[in-house]
Amino acid sequence: MNELDQYIRTIPDFPEPGIMFRDITTVLSDPDGFKFAIDEMQKRLSSVDFDILAGTESRGFIFGTPLAYNLHKPFVLIRKKGKLPAETVEQTYDLEYGTATIEMHKDSVAPRQKVVLVDDLIATGGTIEAAAKLVEKLGGEVVMMLFVIELAGLKGRERLSRYNVESLITYPGK
């Protein structure tokens, strides 16, 4: 058993029957669990050469900012369209029913900078793939995508096969 599993609450049949919802709020509400998750993520970065950490709204902010602080690296916000005040680049991607658009500031990544993308969960990989496209539009290079949880049954890792994808814990199914 992965030690992190003891801090993650599983809620059966949420939001619909057959889904095992992996709840990270219990990781965040336990100081030992949160410290464990951040420490383990930081270990995954120990041999990675990178310039910037970037996180997707909003749970990527929660896990990415302590890492940026600990490693003395800049942290870049990737937000839903219309939330950032300066000039942005945007990327639209498909959802199960419809589309979504995310943005980042145009000056947040310079050409050739190496970026680690952080989020709490990889499911289908659509959001983080869109985030990678934003970094690449600005001339940056995504050197790692780092997650707390991976839902293997949704095949996000396969979708992101051209990237270095790391997760602390992998659950089968959805």
Give the active site residues: 59, 96
Polymer length of the chain: 174
d(CA 132, CA 161): 13
Give the C-alpha separation, 90 to 100, whole Å: 10
Q: Are 162 and 141 in contact (CB under 8 A)?
A: no
Q: Which amino acid does the sequence have at 135? A: V
Radius of gyration of the chain (CA): 16
Rounded-to-integer distance, Cα 157 and Cα 137, Å? 22
First to last CA, the chain: 19
